């Protein structure tokens, strides 16, 4: 049986995309270099948490519409969805994209379409993948089609957003864009916009950089509010009543594998033209240390509520909570972490809230999981050594905690630092 689509990289984007195409009647083959991923998906299971994904993958594998191995197969459409992480010196590591491109070359045939979905520096399709195809004898736009199509799905809502989000498809030639768009049109209900490949690559980076710069602005405004005794959350709420203002949320930093990473791709390539983007990255990367500097000196044991990088997900990649935990430990504090959503924590965590809170001097809310809003402050008050709560997301109901005898310090307000506001 011939395969319609070959997806290289079975991660957060590749696996849902492959399973979704398979569920919509396409024969899909997934490729991954990790034998554990191949084994897990091969038996209809999943290695990442995402609502609805397990059922979808199980159905696709059982019906034979989704297969997986460590090698590509012949197909009509090749989608590259492999990681593009940051190197230690903040450069885009394109190793996996290069390896995936090399691996599909022997399987290409005339009329195939190759789509890159991995977040990549501008010019990747034209200057990196196109030359590799040409060296193998293909002419993009004539004998083969090459396009960039960024994913924009939000973790936790991946399956529905794969269908409903608008998509941008950028071809290295207009015919390349049209060819890729025809494929996505079979799955996507949102609008599909055609452009050139480099513009599409930049669209993705622009979206996440926009978020990062605006979060940095929010974090800076929060620091200003703390010093002048204003309430950032009230400032945000009221300023956002302006029809053209959208102040983001302040917090303990920016985590996840996208927003904290992608802006560096622009800084790396255009260091002389991106002072604002670099400054925003530094503000957000400095946010965990700012939180730790607000912890009173006499606090010995800290309970972190949350390890995931954002609320209601299990993903800890680049989580500010991890940085906060290690900074607290480096300052000699004992740290306990409670996050019942994180099933495979990268650091030791407490199994129960009680174990995490017993004898603690400080409850530090680091992730706004909905289930933390359900905690009964009264029962926590009986376990803690000191009734002190620091909320880095302005998330918990401060009045409820105060009623149970807690001193509540909220990021973005004059209460966050022990010394209080210092108008100057
Ligand atoms: N954060 C703030 N303040 C805010 C919003 C977020 O501090 O106002 C923090 C969060 O706490 C978290 C981090 O930023 O630590 C990122 O969270 P997020 O929910 O904004 O974004 P991600 O990383 O889960 O998903 C983003 C999305 N991009 C945009 O919103 C522009 C998603 O649409 C992308 O598909 C995804 O990145 C990606 O793969 O690039």
Residue 109 alpha carbon to ligand 1 centre in Å: 38
Residue 211 alpha carbon to ligand 1 centre in Å: 7
Residue 386 Cβ inside 6 Å of ligand 1? The answer reads: no
Whether 424 shows a pLDDT value over 60: the answer reads no
Residue 263 Cβ inside 6 Å of ligand 1? The answer reads: no
Indicate the pTM of the whole model.
0.94
Is residue 343 part of the annotated active site? The answer reads no
Task: Pick the atom of ligand 1 nearest to 211's CA.
Answer: 31
- Element (DSSP H or E) covering residue 193: strand 192-196
Same domain for 281 and 251, yes or no, is yes
Number of domains making up the chain: 3
Residue 408 alpha carbon to ligand 1 centre in Å: 27
Q: Which of 15, 16, 17, 154 to mutate to test the pocket of ligand 1 (most atoms within 8 A of CB)?
A: 154
pLDDT in tens, 129-162: 999 999 999 999 999 999 999 999 998 899 999 9
84: in domain: yes
The domain boundary residue, chosen from 257, 285, 313? 285
Distance, in Å, from the CA atom of 236 to the CA atom of 313, rounded to the nearest integer, reads 25
How deeply is 422 buried, as exposed, middle or buried, from its count of CB atoms within 10 A (0-12, 13-18, 19+)? Answer: exposed
Q: What CATH number does the domain containing 306 carry?
A: 3.40.50.720
How deeply is 237 buried, as exposed, middle or buried, from its count of CB atoms within 10 A (0-12, 13-18, 19+)? Answer: exposed
* DSSP secondary structure letters along 251-285: -S---SSSTTTHHHHHHHH-GGG-HHHHHHHHHHH
Q: What percent of the chain has pLDDT over 90?
A: 95
Q: What value does the mean pLDDT take over residues 214-240?
A: 97
Q: What value does the mean pLDDT take over residues 398-418?
A: 97
Q: What CATH number does the domain containing 210 carry?
A: 1.10.1040.10
Tokens representing 257 are 């594998």
pLDDT in tens, 151-194: 999 988 999 999 999 999 999 999 999 999 999 999 999 999 99
Is residue 316 part of the annotated active site? The answer reads no
- Element (DSSP H or E) covering residue 364: strand 362-365
Same domain for 231 and 363, yes or no, is no
Same domain for 264 and 319, yes or no, is no
Task: Pick the atom of ligand 1 nearest to 315's CA.
Answer: 24
Q: What percent of the chain has pLDDT over 70?
A: 99
Task: Pick the atom of ligand 1 nearest to 367's CA.
Answer: 11
Tell me if 326 sits within 8 A of 307, measured CB to CB: no
38: in domain: yes
423: in domain: no
Same domain for 274 and 298, yes or no, is no
Among the listed residues 225, 258, 310, 316, the single catalytic one is: 258
Same domain for 50 and 124, yes or no, is yes
Q: Tokens 């992730």 map to which residue? A: 367
Same domain for 144 and 186, yes or no, is yes
Note the pLDDT of residue 1: 66
The domain boundary residue, chosen from 231, 264, 285? 285
Query: What sign for the dihedral angle of Cα 203, 205, 207, 213?
Result: negative
Buried/exposed 339-363: b ≥16 CB within 10 Å, e otherwise: bbbbeeeeeebbeebeebbbebbbb
Query: Which residue range is the domain that position 94 belongs to?
Result: 5-196
Residue 321 Cβ inside 6 Å of ligand 1? The answer reads: no
The domain boundary residue, chosen from 285, 315, 350? 285
416: in domain: no
Residue 282 alpha carbon to ligand 1 centre in Å: 17
Tokens representing 5 are 């689509």
Question: In whole angstroms, what separates CA 72 from the centre of its chain?
Answer: 27
Distance, in Å, from the CA atom of 321 to the CA atom of 15, rounded to the nearest integer, reads 27
Q: Tokens 């990473």 map to which residue? A: 261
Residue 118 alpha carbon to ligand 1 centre in Å: 16
Among the listed residues 6, 125, 176, 204, the single catalytic one is: 204
Nearest CA residue ID for atom 14, ligand 1: 254
Same domain for 211 and 338, yes or no, is no
Residue 208 Cβ inside 6 Å of ligand 1? The answer reads: yes
Tell me if 252 sits within 8 A of 411, measured CB to CB: yes
Residue 11 Cβ inside 6 Å of ligand 1? The answer reads: no
Same domain for 276 and 338, yes or no, is no
- Say whether 3 sits in a helix, a strand or coil: coil
Note the pLDDT of residue 210: 98
Task: Pick the atom of ligand 1 nearest to 311's CA.
Answer: 11
pLDDT in tens, 262-294: 999 999 999 999 999 999 999 999 999 999 999
Same domain for 13 and 68, yes or no, is yes
Same domain for 166 and 57, yes or no, is yes
29 forms bridges with which residues in the sheet? 6, 67
Residue 139 alpha carbon to ligand 1 centre in Å: 37
Query: Cα dist. 177→28, 110, 182 in Å?
Result: 21, 17, 9
Nearest CA residue ID for atom 38, ligand 1: 258
422: in domain: no
Same domain for 55 and 145, yes or no, is yes
pLDDT in tens, 300-312: 999 999 999 999 9
Same domain for 233 and 274, yes or no, is yes
């Amino acid at each position: 049986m011939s395969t319609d689509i070959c997806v290289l990289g079975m991660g957060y984007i590749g696996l849902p995309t492959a399973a979704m195409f398979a569920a919509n009647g396409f024969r899909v083959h997934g490729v991954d270099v990790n034998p554990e991923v191949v084994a897990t998906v091969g038996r209809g299971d999943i290695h990442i948490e995402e609502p609805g994904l397990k059922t979808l993958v199980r159905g696709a594998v059982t019906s034979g519409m989704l297969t997986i191995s460590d090698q590509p197969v012949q197909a009509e459409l090749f989608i590259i969805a492999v990681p593009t992480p940051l190197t230690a010196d903040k450069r885009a590591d394109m190793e996996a994209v290069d390896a995936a491109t090399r691996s599909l070359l022997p399987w290409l045939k005339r009329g195939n379409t190759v789509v890159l979905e991995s977040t990549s520096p501008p010019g990747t399709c034209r200057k990196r993948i196109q030359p590799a195809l040409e060296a193998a004898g293909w002419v993009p736009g004539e004998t083969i089609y090459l396009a960039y199509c960024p994913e924009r799905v939000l973790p936790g809502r991946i399956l529905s957003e794969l269908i409903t989000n608008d998509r941008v498809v950028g071809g290295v030639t207009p015919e390349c864009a049209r060819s890729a768009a025809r494929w996505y049109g079979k799955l996507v209900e949102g609008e599909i916009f055609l452009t050139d490949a480099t513009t599409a690559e930049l669209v993705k980076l622009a979206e996440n950089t926009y978020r990062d710069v605006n979060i940095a602005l929010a974090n800076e405004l929060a620091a200003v509010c703390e010093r002048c005794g204003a309430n950032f959350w009230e400032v945000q709420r009221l300023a956002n009543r302006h029809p053209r203002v959208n102040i983001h949320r302040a917090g303990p930093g920016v985590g996840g594998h996208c927003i904290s990473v992608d802006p560096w791709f622009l800084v790396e390539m255009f260091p002389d033209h991106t002072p604002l983007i670099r400054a925003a990255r530094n503000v957000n990367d400095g946010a965990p240390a700012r939180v730790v500097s607000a912890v009173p000196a006499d606090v010995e044991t800290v309970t972190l509520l949350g390890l995931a990088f954002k609320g209601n997900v299990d993903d800890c990649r680049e989580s500010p909570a991890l940085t906060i935990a290690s900074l607290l430990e480096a300052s000699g504090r004992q740290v306990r972490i409670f996050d019942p959503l994180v099933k495979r924590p990268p650091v030791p965590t407490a199994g129960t809230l009680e174990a995490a809170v017993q004898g603690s001097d400080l409850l530090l809310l680091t992730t706004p999981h909905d289930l933390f809003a359900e905690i009964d402050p009264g029962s926590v008050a009986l376990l803690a050594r000191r009734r002190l709560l620091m909320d880095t997301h302005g998330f918990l109901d401060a009045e409820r905690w105060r009623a149970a005898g807690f001193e509540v310090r909220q990021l973005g307000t004059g209460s966050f630092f022990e010394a209080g506001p210092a108008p100057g």
